[in-house]
Structure 1
Amino acid sequence: INTQVVFDADCNILDVVSKWPGSTHDARILNKSGMQQLFDRNIVPPGCHLLGHKGYPQRRWLLTPFPRPQPGAQQNYNRAHRCTRSVVERGIDQWKRRFHVLHGEIRQTPQKASNIIMAC
């Protein structure tokens, strides 16, 4: 199961999408998510942004790293992006520590695995 999780700066979970096969590209999950709709419909206040890893497409509200950064500003941006995105990694680690079932493979049907992830 490919799971998309959105955290705020305090590691609080804001959104979880957990229903797509593991082979589904992150961009497709984002395109079908309620989070994209909130931003595209301007429901989220101006000035709010999400950070995404390199598997996500660049959007005006979704900040991703430069694939081949030029020295200077782009490298600095990528460094700051990496440091800021560490909040997500910390949030995922906390989530997995709290719910040990998330540590490894969930040996259930895809639907049941999705339900387990969402329940956590």
Structure 2
Amino acid sequence: MMRSSTMLVDDPTQNIMAVCDFEMRFTSIVAGWLGSAHDTRIFRDTLVKYADRFPHPPIGGYYLVDSGYPNCDGYLAPYKGQKYHVPKFRQGLPPNGKKTFNFAHSSLGNVIERSFGVWKMKWRILQKMTSYPPEKQARIIIACMALHNCIRESNLRDLEFDKCDRDENYMPRNSQPLPTGHVSNIVVGDDATMKATREAIADGLMVDQV
């Protein structure tokens, strides 16, 4: 799962891009961009600048990405402009395929939302780094993510990780909701292959509801 998060470290803010696995471990982090930088710009730059180091998805696989990213080869984004209401899903009311897909996408995407929440709660320095220059702030962000992974991979008990493990719906206080229906001034067309993949998944989800 890939998403961006704006760090309220000062004015200007920082926009970071992170990838995590379903074990809540961060597998990639790009920090140091101004908060005004669009997710798509950071994404495109990363794939070019760190092409040999970025953990690209395997052939035939893909990352789930939020609506700030393009729906392109290896990166599966939700449908834009298809908001859904959780209570209606819980009542079993049949929505359309696009809304059903977005609901499933968001449900799986909660793992990175919770990962960010645990990470931000654990390291108070992330809440206020005004005394440090931007370059040092970026290094602090990366270091805290490395420590997050060390704790996750250790055998030590951790309160927030334990809560997440016991309840898949638990959301730490500092979690940021995944964007839905995001509209940007950067127009990026959907990749034909991933568009077809998304439609096939959406159709399959609707068949499962019948």
TM-score tier, shorter chain, comes to: 0.7 to 0.9
Alignment of 1:45-84 (within 5 A): 45-69=58-82, 72-84=96-108
C-alpha change, 1:79 and 1:8, in structure 2 (3 Å) is same
1:99 aligns with 2:123: yes
Distance of 1:105 and 1:55 partners within structure 2: 25
Supply the AA of the counterpart residue of 1:93. G
Shift, 1:99, TM fit: 1.7
1:37 aligns with 2:61: no
- Contact conserved, 2:16 with 2:29, CA < 8 A, in 1? yes
Q: Return the TM-score normalized by structure 2.
A: 0.50
RMSD between superposed Cα atoms in Å: 2.5
1:66 and 1:80 mapped to 2: Cα distance? Answer: 12
Aligned residues between the structures? 117
Between the aligned partners of 2:124 and 2:60, the Cα distance in structure 1 is: 36
Unaligned runs of 5+ in 1: none
Q: 1:86 aligned to 2:99?
A: no
1:27 to 9, 27, 40: 40
Structure 1 residue 48 displacement after superposition: 2.4
1:44 offset after TM fit, Å?
3.7
Query: 1:89 Cα deviation (Å)?
Result: 0.5
Instruction: State the one-letter code of the partner of 1:65.
Output: P
Instruction: Compute the TM-score of the two structures, normalised by the length of structure 1.
Output: 0.84
